[in-house]
Amino acid sequence: MLLLFTLVLFTFDFTISMPLLPEGNFVSANLTGISNIAKPGCQTKCGNLTVKYPFGIGEGCYLDDGFELTCNSTHYDPPELFIGSSSITIHNISDSEMRIFNTIAYACYDEAGVPDISDGCIQLKESYRTFSQKNKFTVIGCDDFVLMNGKLNEIDFVSGCLGLCSIESVVPNGNCSGIGCCQASIPKGLRYIISSFKTFGNHTSVMSLNPCSFAFLAEEGSFDFGGVNDLKDRKFNTRTNPIVPIVVDWVVGGEGSCSQATACKGNSSCNDVDTGGYRCSCKEGYEGNPYLDQGCQDINECEDKTNFPCYGFCTNTPGSYNCTCLHGYEGTDGKSADGCRHVAKDSKFSEVVISLGIYTFT
């Protein structure tokens, strides 16, 4: 048997004088530079969390009172980051959200049906933060109706969830399906939440299956109902507080809007948020921190061919880039693969053909 593989490669050997990219002429933004994160002299790390302006730790490091954070490294290892002087602990912060550690409300009943209750109240600072609609109000219990009381722009709001079950065998694992676990959506703009527990029979008939009921906000997808294990566990709250975060949306400008915006610095734009306030973002072609002077820095697109294709000669420009055809090619658009066409008469290139054969005999 004879197998024959033939591979033919065509390569074009350019002999034209190809201009070298004048990399040295560009001021390339050092986007990992510390100046892009916080005000000069301010702490940027708390444990392994990065604290970016408008948030800040210490006097003069934050935009205004709503963005003051406290890093406690003396009593916590690793250090913990708190919102202002509150007891709300931050899990992480992004450009529009933060995740905070949970505070789970509970009602635990003794054999006589007498409850020990904690209402799990969480108050976000007015006009800076709201609970994200990514959260679900979640109730774990077999004999309970839990009301979620909140405030929506000064108007009281009440909703609730029903947790019912009678015997172990009907309680599913994993899905919060209404049996022993109930989840409800929350309205946009909620800044305050407190749970009030109502019970049908003080848990006396379900005591062995479910002594406590629990109520909390949970980022959708972050909570897997553990079924009977969760219903029986009196320590469900302390176990779950650190692993099921609450998502909080943050804005600057309080009740204001972009028309009064002062927080968005050079080369950034302002975006109104429908629940009040606004956020800033770097303009297209810039990246960095839009809340700091010189925070948005020009992207050198020529250094990122994957996201900014150029099949010719690339020149960075403020906010964009030019891509012109190489010598010997013509066209108007070097940014697309077939934007430049070869001009035969001007070029001196040779064509090399390589033939490669692999023969196998058996």
Ligand X SMILES: *[C@@H]1O[C@H](CO)[C@@H](O)[C@H](O)[C@H]1NC(C)=O
Contact set with ligand X (CB under 6 A): 30, 32-34, 47-48, 70, 72, 74-75, 78, 91-92, 94, 99, 113-114, 172-175, 201-202, 204, 245, 266-267, 294, 298, 315, 317-318, 322
CB of 130 to ligand X, least distance (A): 18
Residue 313 token pair: 């000669």
The answer to whether the Cα torsion of 338, 344, 349, 353 is positive or negative is: positive
One-letter amino acid identity for 111? Answer: E
DSSP state of 65: G
CB of 8 to ligand X, least distance (A): 39
Kindly tell me which of 215 and 302 has the beta carbon lying closer to ligand X: 302
Q: Give burial (CB, 10 Å; 0-12/13-18/19+) of 264.
A: buried
**Range 227-233, long-range pairs (CB < 8 A, 24+ positions):** 227/171, 227/172, 227/173, 227/174, 227/180, 228/168, 228/171, 228/173, 228/180, 230/140, 230/180, 230/181, 231/140, 231/141, 231/142, 231/165, 231/171, 231/180
Residue number, 79 or 254, with CB nearest to ligand X: 79
Q: Which is nearer to ligand X, 159 or 322 (CB)?
A: 322
For residue 285, the minimal CB distance to ligand X (Å) is 9
The residue (of 149 and 202) whose beta carbon lies closer to ligand X is 202
Q: Which is nearer to ligand X, 204 or 229 (CB)?
A: 204
C-beta closer to ligand X: residue 172 or 254 = 172
Which residues lie below 8 Å from residue 36, measured CB to CB, with a gap of 6+?
A: 288, 289, 292, 295, 297
In the complex, what is the shortest distance from the CB of residue 231 to ligand X, in angstroms, rounded to a whole number? 15
Position of minimal CB gap to ligand X: 266
Q: Least CB distance from residue 161 to ligand X, whole Å? A: 18
CA distance 172 to 144: 18
Q: Provide, rounded to whole angstroms, the least separation between the CB of residue 278 and ligand X.
A: 18
CA terminus-to-terminus distance, the chain: 6
